[in-house]
Amino acid sequence: MISVETGQCADYLLVAQRNNSLSRKERQWVLGFICAVSSCIALAFAAFGAWPVLPFAGIEMAVLYGAFRYIDWHAGDYESLEINGDRVRIEFREGRAVRQVEFNRHWAQVVMGEGSGRGRLALRSHGREVEFGCHLTNEERERVAQELRQQLKKVA
């Protein structure tokens, strides 16, 4: 999901974040439902003498719980790119870690290329290169690259 804003605080602000199809509460309901169904099936098999199914069902539910915790942990991840005056600031949030990188607007360059089977969008300046747009589709990356090139050319 992309949101682009222009306003008083920044000349240009782009925020890219994950597309979470379920809220935290909905994910909890889905996990509970899957665990309930899995438990019922495992107990039914155990009632007919196939008791070794129970530990495997427990392992399955533990792994599924871990996967849902990982999704919850990264549900708030985002990337933001702010152009304000002569400054370009990129902020990344992954899990609880927040990282910021700043470039000079006049020296920053938009770089597009192929990487790991998908389009790659990065900003480069003074030998440093920062990839941006991991939450975007290839089409969105191309559109954002064109937009960024235009924004960087504008005189602050």
Q: What residues does each domain of the chain span?
A: 2-20+76-153, 24-74
pTM exceeds 0.85 for this model:
no
Q: Cα–chain-centroid distance for residue 39? A: 32
Tell me which amino acid residue 97 is: A
Contacts with 35 (C-beta within 8 Å, 6 or more apart), sequence order: 61, 64, 65
Q: Which numeric CATH code is attached to 2-20+76-153?
A: 2.30.29
First-residue to last-residue Cα distance in the chain:
27
User: What whole-number distance in Å separates Cα of residue 128 and Cα of residue 109?
Assistant: 11
Instruction: Write out the chain's pLDDT in tens, 156 residues.
Output: 666 555 557 788 999 888 888 999 999 999 999 999 999 999 999 999 999 999 999 999 999 999 999 999 999 899 999 998 889 999 999 988 999 999 998 898 998 887 656 778 889 998 899 998 888 888 888 899 999 998 888 765
